[in-house]
Structure 1
Amino acid sequence: MQTSRSKRATAALCRSMGLSIAIHALLSVARAQAAPPIAALAIEQSQYASLRGSEARRQIVVTGRDAKGGAHDLTHKVTYESQPQGIVNVDATGLVTPLADGKATVTARTQDGVAGTLEVTVESFSNPAPVSFPNQIVPIFTKHSCNSGGCHGKSSGQNGFKLSLLGFYPEEDHEYLVKEGRGRRILAAAPEQSLLLQKATNAVPHGGGQRIEPESYEYRLLRRWMLQGMPYGSPNDPRVVRLEVVPDARTMVQNDEQQLSVFAHYSDSSVEDVTRMAQYEANDREMAEVTPAGVVKTHDLAGEVAVMVRFQGQVGVFRGTVPLGAPMQTLPPKRNFIDELVFKKLELLGVPPSAVSDDSTFLRRVTYDVAGRSPTLEESKGFLADKDPAKRDKFIERLLASTDYADYFANKWSAV
């Protein structure tokens, strides 16, 4: 609760700075107050806990629940440990990587001692399956924009090397890499000396600069693929059929963070964590941005932001809601199911609705919106003089039945 002194300061702020600025300042004070204590901790989608192969990864998302049921992302605010040691490694961001075959328990713990666990199984660490070029190598090129329209993915390629745009034709990409230029881009006997890795790490001057780090996940996977003889894969290899984004929606606050996990579901019912290989794009970058690791970071604005997640031609969406937090004292009467949906969204966003407009304002707005013109003098006089409580509904029906409506919307749709 605010003290009397802070309330007086808030009132003075409203008078001197204006209501909108005062609301923003009030919300900043609220955010600065102590966060509600966490009552329970959970690791999302704990059923996806199998790591197959030495390159497998699992991005943990830790959600804390307060006493009121509110969800808080604690992925980067907890400490991690795994027992027994030597099976998996968990870094400070919650990324789990395998070290040896076996089973381990990963524990996430808050400073107050609230904990959540994840049982992890590592399989085939010493004997991983052959690398699939379409499923594992092409996503590297896509993630790092190597096959984008501004780089090697354009129709003429880049500096003599061409890839299909966004990896749509992996068979051709495989041929470009392995066979084109007399195979000069790859040295299977010494992968580290291959132009593919030398250019990507900028060990050899590269117009696109450094794209991957030496000994990174991408580097090790490309090297293993070359050591295996650059296989393309089998026609029977599974393909991605859908993406699952976890969480798919979350209520956040300004200047907040939310870690995402992205799971690719394959045609053989297997599931793979592709969080670090997926691409992210927010529909409103003034509201939020997303890091390459899948961390959504909100800014100072309130509202809703959608994040599109892409991997191997499949798309998923995360929706973040950042309430304004203004008090909702009264709502206009609900007249239909659309009003119910709108008011529900306004309550979620903490945005008070405007008051019901007067007759003249309504007449002007609805005529412009439905018919694309201003109301005539006769329409204005008749509508303002009408005492029928249902006159607004009747006027809308007359506009919808008019040729003005048909002409206006036909012109709108013809431009789409």
Structure 2
Amino acid sequence: MVWRTLRFLVPAMLVMAGAVVAAEPSTKSDAVGRPVSIDVAPRAFRLDGPRATRQLLVTGHYADGSLRDLTGLAGFQATDPGRLSVDADGLVHGLGDGSTQLIVEVGGRKATTEATVSGIKRIEPVSFRRELMPVLSVAGCSDIRCHGAPSGKDGFRLSLWGFDPEFDFQQLTHDGLGRRTNTLNPDNSLVLNKALSQVPHVGGRRFAPRSHLANLIRTWQSEGLRDDQKPVSLAELTVTPDRRVLKAPAVGQRLAVSAKFSDGRVQDVTRLTTFSSSDIAIASVDRSGRVEFNRQGEVAILCRFMGRLESVRMMHIAEPAAGYAWPNPPEANYVDTHVFAKLKMLNIAPSELCTDEQFVRRLYLDLCGVLPTPGEVRAFLSTGGPDKR
């Protein structure tokens, strides 16, 4: 019977909830290991516009079939360095119009991707809805714990997570007699100085003075506090990878987020996406989309941009305990098949079969929420038959 699997489900959940710490590789060579091959995603991309970026992902493939994110450990070299630059996190910035090949090397393996850069000198105002609103979300300003609360915070209110751009535009440009913004001297604006903690701010410093987020707020103000003339909607939001199982020594995975808008434009929005983890005790995620596991387990990483929410599943499997060996227990039914498959993947041996006394106690607690009476226990223990449990 299906109830027989209780002896496996409960111990499995308890063990999975235990703190099996994820061990950080001690050296770069340990983190890289010996990949059989590497690949870089995307294999070809275009940077179109003066602020366009692209998050690259470098993945190592290993002999045991496992995958590791090697983006932060890889070296990047453009055949034409005047076209683009790549930072330590694998984020590409355009420098000049044209095409180039980008060579990626790590662990003695190489891969290439083709890049085309255009519109570097094009005058393109900061989009209030596609760029500035996400900045307020990434910085936490429109969060429920801050100005996105129903009553706002310290006299300033924004819509929760930027769901009402029209309201937020009015709040930023007209509320408080327009004192929060400054078109003539953006560096002296209250909205920027609060976020930089250059004036007293309960929320503290939200980003660095010369960061991409600060520059967007600064530029939007200098361009005249404009709302988008022809607002576009978000048609599709894609997160890569959408699922990943990491086996020790791998403990982290970088994410890349791409948005497709109603006007057909496709743009990398990784640095404008708000990330959060369903369980920060198991894994955390920073603003750049880097997921870092603290211990074995599985989490959902929530990725939010322009009102759209996508989630990706991430799992980390730690090294098995010393002397571990899968006991290969018999399967009583299809539930056992699935439970055993998950336990085997996690290097967790199922518990031994519980006694009849333990079984009847668990059954009553699970179904009735009370302990069985002594008479009910005796009646169950005296019952025979192959379908007893």
Q: Given the alignment, which residue of 307, 316, 322 partners 2:316?
A: 322
- The answer (yes or no) to whether the contact 1:63–1:75 under 8 Å persists in 2 is yes
1:97 Cα deviation (Å)? Answer: 1.0
SS in structure 2 at match of 1:391: coil
Match of 2:92 in 1: 96
Q: TM-score, structure 2 length as denominator? A: 0.82
Match of 1:397 in 2: none
Q: Which amino acid aligns with 1:314?
A: R
1:95-114 equivalences under 5 Å are 95-112=91-108, 114=109
2:115 is aligned with 1:120? yes
Match of 1:194 in 2: 189
SS in structure 2 at match of 1:383: helix
SS in structure 1 at match of 2:36: strand
Q: Given the alignment, which residue of 281, 292, 302 partners 2:276?
A: 281
1:140 Cα deviation (Å)? Answer: 0.6
Match of 2:307 in 1: 313
Q: Given the alignment, which residue of 288, 298, 301 partners 1:304?
A: 298
Q: Deviations over 1:111-140 (max 9, x none)?
A: 52x112221222222115443212211111
1:246 Cα deviation (Å)? Answer: 2.1
- The answer (yes or no) to whether the contact 1:254–1:302 under 8 Å persists in 2 is no
Greater helix share, structure number: 1
Q: Which amino acid aligns with 1:56?
A: A
* Cα RMSD after superposing both structures: 3.1
Match of 1:131 in 2: 126
Match of 1:12 in 2: none
- The answer (yes or no) to whether the contact 2:326–2:347 under 8 Å persists in 1 is no
1:286 Cα deviation (Å)? Answer: 2.4
Q: 1:119–1:382: structure 2 CA closer, same or farther, 3 Å change rule? A: same
1:104 Cα deviation (Å)? Answer: 2.1
Q: Which runs of 5+ in 1 are unaligned?
A: 1-23, 393-416
- The answer (yes or no) to whether the contact 1:255–1:298 under 8 Å persists in 2 is no
Q: 1:111–1:373: structure 2 CA closer, same or farther, 3 Å change rule? A: closer
Q: 1:248–1:291: structure 2 CA closer, same or farther, 3 Å change rule? A: same
Counting matched residue pairs gives: 366
2:51 is aligned with 1:55? yes
C-alpha separation between the residues in 1 aligned to 2:336 and 2:202? 55
Q: Identity of paired residues, percent?
A: 33
SS in structure 1 at match of 2:349: coil
2:352 is aligned with 1:358? no
SS in structure 2 at match of 1:89: strand
- The answer (yes or no) to whether the contact 2:162–2:307 under 8 Å persists in 1 is no
- The answer (yes or no) to whether the contact 1:199–1:206 under 8 Å persists in 2 is yes
Q: Which amino acid aligns with 1:145?
A: G
Q: 1:317–1:249: structure 2 CA closer, same or farther, 3 Å change rule? A: farther
1:377 Cα deviation (Å)? Answer: 4.5
Q: Given the alignment, which residue of 165, 171, 174 partners 2:169?
A: 174
2:342 is aligned with 1:333? no
Q: 1:255–1:286: structure 2 CA closer, same or farther, 3 Å change rule? A: farther
- The answer (yes or no) to whether the contact 1:247–1:261 under 8 Å persists in 2 is no
C-alpha separation between the residues in 1 aligned to 2:278 and 2:288? 18
Match of 2:13 in 1: none
Q: Given the alignment, which residue of 142, 149, 170 partners 2:137?
A: 142
Match of 2:64 in 1: 68
1:28 Cα deviation (Å)? Answer: 6.7
Q: Which amino acid aligns with 2:211?
A: S
Q: Which amino acid aligns with 1:338?
A: V
1:253-268 equivalences under 5 Å are 253=248, 256-268=251-263
C-alpha separation between the residues in 1 aligned to 2:224 and 2:284? 39
- The answer (yes or no) to whether the contact 2:251–2:316 under 8 Å persists in 1 is no
Higher relative contact order (CA 8 A, sep 6+): 2
Q: 1:152–1:286: structure 2 CA closer, same or farther, 3 Å change rule? A: closer
1:357-376 equivalences under 5 Å are 357-376=354-373
Larger Rg: 1
C-alpha separation between the residues in 2 aligned to 1:367 and 1:205? 57
